[in-house]
Chains A and B, each alone.
Chain A
Amino acid sequence: MNRNWRHVLPAALVAVSLAIGGCANREAPAVRAVADAKAALATFRDQAEQFAASELQQVDAVLGDLEAHLQNGDYGAMVDAAPDLSMQIEALYATTVERRAAHAQANIAARVAWTTLAEDVPKMIQALQSRIDVLAKSRRLPADLDRTQFDAVRVRFEQMKSLWLEATAAVAAGEVVEAVGHGEMAATKGAEAMSMLGMTIDTAGG
């Protein structure tokens, strides 16, 4: 992200104020201020769209007002609006940088979580699939499992597999945080299904 606009924009807006206050040609600095504001926004607009969309919308609205004042030759209104725009662009930039950093941090944490899920969930799916396949062939079910409960297990298992497919699709698309969300839901469904079947999870790891 280009930080140069931080020095350019306030100077341009001050120039507008001075020009409007004392110079005969008030249009040129006003045009330049709007152009500088647009240029400043352009340096991080794509990032702002991703991380601070509503704030960007507000800044664009103020910029739009400023352009309207310029077109109408209303330089007094420009003087009133210019400092606000300057502050809003600065705040937008700060918000964008802060949220991008938080997003990067969340991605790092999600990648760690995904590593565990990617190792565990397929094993859980295999264990459940194996048990469900055998029980489906059973003429009678175990004493602590009736047909209704077994059907409920199968529903949960199908939900688990769907969630896992969504998780793997998300991670393939680079959406690791979303993938972890789906993966954790898949693991929860799987744990429920295993518990209903009386299957145990060796939390000691071996």
Chain B
Amino acid sequence: MVDINDPPASSDDDPYAQYYVVQKGDTLSKIAEEFYGDKMLYPKIFEANTDILKDPNKIKPGQKLRIP
């Protein structure tokens, strides 16, 4: 039986994944405050995007970030 806690086999083509495209002037803290109401939760966004982010303080406009 499928365990509902199991992640899907692949995250490709996932219509339920949430994304945000970085705008000029954005920071991870600002994005965290927008989505979570708490800027201190920015590490959650960073951890979800380590494939494209190496430093939480360096994001660029146009980057498509996954928002957990």
Contacts and interface: CB of A to CB of B under 8 A. Distances in A.
Given A126-B16, A206-B13, A134 B4 contact: no
A75 B68 CA distance: 80
B41 interface: yes
Contacts of B13: 205-206
Contacts of B6: 122
Contacts of A134: 36, 41, 44, 68
Contacts of B5: 129
B2 A168 contact: yes
B36 A135 contact: yes
Interface residues of B, number: 23
Interface SS of B by simple majority: loop
Interface in B25-61: 34-38, 40-41, 44
Contact of B15 (A130, A145, A203): A203
Contact of A142 (B4, B14, B34, B68): B34
Interface string A105-134: 000000000000011101111111111011
Nearest to A124: B16
Contacts of B35: 142
A178 to B, nearest CB: 15
Given A118-B2, A134-B41, A126 B8 contact: yes
Interface of A: 118-120, 122-131, 133-135, 137-143, 145, 161, 164-165, 168-169, 172, 194, 199-203, 205-206
